[in-house]
Copies of this chain bind each other. A is one copy, B any other.
Amino acid sequence: MFKADILGETLKDGIEALTIIVDEARVHLSKDGLYARNADPSYVAMVQFELSAKAFENYETDDEVVTLDLKKMQGILELANRTDIIRIVVDENRMALSFGDLKYTIALLSPYSIKKEPKVPKVESAAHVVITGKEFRWAVKAAGKVSDNIALGCTDTDFFMEALGDADTMRLELSKDQLIDVSRADGKADEIRSLFSLEFLLEMSKAVGKASEVSLDMGKNIPLKVGFDFADGNGAVSYLLAPRIEQE
């Protein structure tokens, strides 16, 4: 049994962050809060999602695992305002969502209908960059004008995004004073970079667009970690995105 009240805004933003990667998700409910870990069908991208019990108005649960149809929930929540309180009740194989004068009941999915949870790979990032969600979103959009791939990289003082198309290029460069933070975990100052699929970055940039701070952990041809908080710091999302092979 799970019974909780949550602000529309928190539930909408949380579900959006997950649907960037998966349409259906296994979610673990425990006394302290909930978490989910899901990979996209191609295993190129992964999301880790945490939401503390403190993010809820009320929160009661027996420890359990539920499998949710996120796309259907998202459709229903289009009718809720960001300021509505949403009541969620999970009982046996059904979930009730109530807000205003409306009550929806939807079926939970079979736990066997979706893939096993992915293992989270250990990634030794060489650099840590923090920028605003708005700037990240804008830069990814700018790269899309010339290429389907986008390189992210930095030195110890500058961060850049670069897109190399067949004949055209785009480069965005932000120096230390234009960034919230740039620092090297490996203590070096040389230029590091990795290449990524624009498609996934575009999706992620939609979810992070509202975040005041987005952290980017990166290195040389290693996965990129894109992290941000929501729900006044009571929720945390991090995406891992596998690099593409860059042709010299």
Interface size on A (CB < 8 Å)? 25
A173, B142: Cβ atoms closer than 8 Å: no
Complex Cα distance A174/B107, Å?
Answer: 25
Choose the segment among A119-127, A163-171, A200-208 that binds chain B (4+ C-beta atoms closer than 8 Å): A163-171
In the complex, the count of this chain's copies comes to 3
Interface residues of A in 150-198 (CB under 8 A from B): 167-174, 178
Complex Cα distance A172/B104, Å?
Answer: 9
Residues of B within 8 A of A101 (CB): 172-174, 178
A76: CB under 8 A from chain B? yes
A79-B141, A79-B145, A138-B79 known; A102 and B171 CB under 8 Å?
yes
Which listed residue, B106, B138, B171, B174, touches A103 by the CB 8 Å rule? B171
Task: Please list the 6 inter-chain residue pairs (A to B) with the smallest Cβ-Cβ separation, ordered nearest first.
Answer: A107-B167, A106-B168, A105-B169, A103-B171, A104-B170, A76-B145
A interface with B by C-beta (< 8 Å): 72, 75-76, 79, 101-107, 138, 141-142, 145-146, 167-174, 178
